[in-house]
């Protein structure tokens, strides 16, 4: 399967260029796959692993992954940029365990009250029935419960931070918007979201309603087709054929630098510690 992350907005070209430069991840048997989203506006952070600074100046809007990580436990703390040590963490310290062959997205984000926090989401990578795609919406923004609108109609209702909801849909492009629960006035969007056959599309709402910097990030996990491997009548009028590919690193907004900074097991240990706080 291929796992791609991008943000909606002006940085799409930069992200696309970074993806083009990235190569396939060489995952060992049983490795977990971890993608990372930095969704805390205005906060550049340092990442500490076991008390050692591993990543310097990780900026808002940065997305990376998936990285292949050995299954196991990881400890992590996130501090303000250039902190002297990890004693004054703004997120953590936390410890989590990644399961063998698990697929995760870790999000540093704001809770509903606007406090920096972290969530570890488990991505569903099970096969999708032929001719269908999946859409998951995750609320990781400092905002009350929201409705997700498709063409002006609520398709997901009363979604609160840090919850998620998944739909199985026909392939197509959805003009999606996010509105306060029970209303139809968008606070994010509308923006076109494409649901493709055999693909799990994951949309994140992040940022702050009060600060008027709400944004969307979109992650796609491809290659989840079930038999038959192709379905006539795809969006372009042709048949779409399943192509199960090795996991690939899709990097955006400085994530190539992240890979260089982490290196080998440093990457695995530094990115693995975020956990889902419910």
The reply to whether 35 falls in a domain is yes
Q: pLDDT digit string (tens) for 62-71?
A: 777 787 888 9
**The pTM is what?**
0.72
The reply to whether 159 falls in a domain is yes
Q: pLDDT digit string (tens) for 78-123?
A: 888 889 998 999 898 888 788 999 999 888 899 999 999 999 999 9
- Mean pLDDT across the stretch 209-229? 88
The reply to whether 84 falls in a domain is yes
The reply to whether 155 falls in a domain is yes
H or E segment at 117? strand 116-122
Judge residue 15's burial from the number of C-beta atoms within 10 Å of its C-beta, 0-12 exposed, 13-18 middle, 19 or more buried: buried
- Peptide bond preceding 91 in cis form (omega within 30 of 0): no
Phi (first) and psi of residue 64, to 5 degrees: -150, 150
Residue 1 — pLDDT band, cuts 50, 70, 90?
low
The reply to whether 277 falls in a domain is no
Residue 35 — pLDDT band, cuts 50, 70, 90?
confident
E-assigned strands of 170-278?
172-180, 186-195, 200-208, 215-221, 230-231, 240-241
The reply to whether 276 falls in a domain is no
The yes-or-no verdict on residue 259 having pLDDT over 50 is: no
Residue 212 — pLDDT band, cuts 50, 70, 90?
very high
Domain count, the chain: 1
Residue numbers of the domain that contains 35? 3-271
Tokens of 96: 């989590």
The reply to whether 278 falls in a domain is no
The reply to whether 229 falls in a domain is yes
């Amino acid at each position: 399967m291929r796992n791609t992350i991008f943000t909606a907005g002006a940085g799409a070209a930069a992200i696309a260029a970074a993806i083009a430069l990235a190569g396939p991840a060489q995952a060992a048997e049983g490795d977990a796959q971890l993608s990372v989203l930095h969704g805390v506006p205005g906060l550049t952070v340092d990442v500490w692993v076991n008390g050692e600074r591993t990543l310097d100046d990780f900026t808002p809007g940065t997305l990376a992954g998936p990285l292949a990580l050995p299954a196991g436990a990881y400890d992590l703390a996130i501090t303000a940029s250039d902190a002297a040590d990890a004693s004054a963490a703004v997120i953590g310290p936390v410890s989590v365990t990644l399961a063998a062959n698990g697929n995760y997205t870790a999000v540093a984000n704001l809770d509903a009250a606007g406090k920096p926090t972290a969530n570890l989401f488990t991505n569903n990578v099970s096969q999708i029935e032929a001719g269908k795609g999946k859409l998951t919406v995750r609320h990781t923004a400092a905002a009350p419960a929201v409705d997700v609108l498709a063409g002006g109609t609520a398709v997901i209702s009363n979604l609160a931070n840090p919850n998620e909801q998944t739909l199985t849909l026909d392939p197509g492009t959805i003009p999606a918007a996010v509105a306060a629960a029970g209303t139809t006035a968008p606070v994010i969007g509308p923006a076109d979201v494409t649901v493709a056959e055999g693909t799990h599309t994951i949309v994140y709402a992040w940022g702050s309603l009060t600060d008027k910097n709400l944004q969307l990030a979109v992650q796609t996990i491809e290659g989840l087709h079930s038999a038959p491997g192709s379905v006539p009548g795809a969006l372009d009028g042709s048949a779409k054929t399943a192509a199960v590919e090795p996991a690939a690193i899709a990097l955006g907004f400085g994530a190539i630098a992240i890979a260089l900074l982490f290196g080998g097991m440093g990457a695995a240990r530094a990115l693995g510690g975020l956990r889902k706080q419910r």
